Structure 1
Amino acid sequence: MSSLKLASPATTRIGFIGIGVMGASMAGHLIKAGYKLNIFTRTASKADSLISLGASLLNTPLEVAQQSDVVISIVGYPKDVEEVLLDSKNGVLNGFESGKISIDMTTSKPSLAVRVYEEFKKRGAYALDAPVSGGDIGARNATLSIMVGGDQNVFDACLPIFNVMGKNVRLMGNAGFGQHTKMANQIAISSGMIAMCESLLYAQRVGLDCESVIQVLSSGAAQTFSMSNYGPRILKRNFDPGFYVEHFIKDLGIALDEASRVGLILPGLIQSKMLYDILAADGKQKLGTHALMLALEKLNGMPKTSNEEKKA
């Protein structure tokens, strides 16, 4: 396999599409590392902080592609990935020439990642699927886990870029394998979030001090990212999104489809998807995934706090 090398940060132009809860922090790290950033977002006001750091706001993904060597995208849904990367008029592919690289960091369908890889290859360009885990905290602290699918030489060339945004970066296999790894991640988180919320619900009901419970459990066998990072937010009744409920529901749906495709029945995943669907039906789809506690509290007939009553 031939080698592929990017120029230094000072001369490598990076396009960044999607300035959301995580994307804004990720893009900011790249600017501070010395990369020149061209950005696109549907909501221009989200780009203000990045523009103040030196980023250029462009009008379409096509323009971003034309003026960049590497284009990173992190958008909402598979349909957004298709539009941003493959749209025949304003998509990234249409603005690419041989040798350029697309890195899609959206959590999306493995089959779509393969399709994107093949379409870019026809043009002599490259594509990696590189979804991330770690939420807003990982994005803010540049400690994301980044799971990548694609060719080894392209991964090697992009590793310096990945290392600016994350701490655990690994090539998992061919195109689509980054997305398959992210599905395994979301399956683990989905049942783990139920376990964490049920644990705190039990502790509260029997009269334990929940802050002490979190401290003790976080240093033992029950330690999880969710317990350490989302447990304290739940106690403060802070359900602001590190990752949106509606996006997690999308991920769990993809995971269920993929599991069905390979002949697996995953009861924990099915149960989690059902509970999150209940939460969304109750109007909580824009909250963070740890808001699952609200669904479990409602299931157990527990009243809302006064602040939550006002918000409702």
Structure 2
Amino acid sequence: MPEQIALLTNPTAGKGRGGRVSALVGPRLRDAGFAVRELAGRDADEALDLARGCVADGVETLVVVGGDGMVHLAVQALAGSSTRLGLVPAGTGNDVARNLDLPRKDALAATDVVIRGRERTIDLARIGARYFVTVLAAGFDAKVNERANQMTWPRGQMRYNLATLAELRTFEPIPYVLELDGRTERFDAMMVAVGNGPSFGGGLRITEGALLDDGLLDVVVILPMSKTALVRTYPKLFKGTHIHHPEYRHYPARTVTVAAPGVVAYADGERIGALPLTVEVVPQALRVLVP
């Protein structure tokens, strides 16, 4: 029998790009000899139910057509299972694809990774029963995410850039308490990020150096700096060169609790909830197809 592949699409990803991309991916997979089950939930809850159904049915590969939000949803079903994740990026930030070195602008090339790629097993991060792949943002970066998600224009990275400038006008350092594998750190900071992978927000490499399969979280703290200095430092996030700034701090950990007043955390670009939150690494939790 042909290998079973489920194709889970967010048709609204990338302002409709998800639906257009899916129309290319399905035929390509069938031409390669796969039996394809096409799925599209009417909302996030239904999409998650569909993904869980695939795992329960023993489908070998679940291919997500969408952005980081759709991957985040699928991972809730796939974590710890034998079903592999394939990804054809069709979102705005596409940081999961970026972290896995997948083609982000060529849907057919990404589909060919599903067809001919190799399997890799990566870690996930977990907050309670909820998993994430990339970065949990809890500070200035989270406030930027919250504003960017409320914006309908522009698309892509420029949306995050404008949201950053808007937040800069009123932002003040936040008092944090971190519990890192049982050790306590207290400080005022601009942001705290907990990375399983290195980037979020469309290529912001806040947790530069984080590896998806090292069994560790990378906790990054940016201590207080002037708004002018923050503006100058911001472009360095795209290259990861902010790690040389004197206000940068890095803590590897397996478990971290982040506490601060009035901060809502985001992970994989999705709203998680108010601090305090405890994040733990779950080693070797997800099977993925990569080049």
- Normalized per residue, which structure has more strand? 2
TM-score tier, shorter chain, comes to 0.3 to 0.5
TM-score w.r.t. length of structure 1: 0.32
Q: Which has the larger radius of gyration?
A: 1
- Normalized per residue, which structure has more helix? 1
**Higher RCO (Cα < 8 Å, 6 or more apart):** 2
TM-score w.r.t. length of structure 2: 0.34
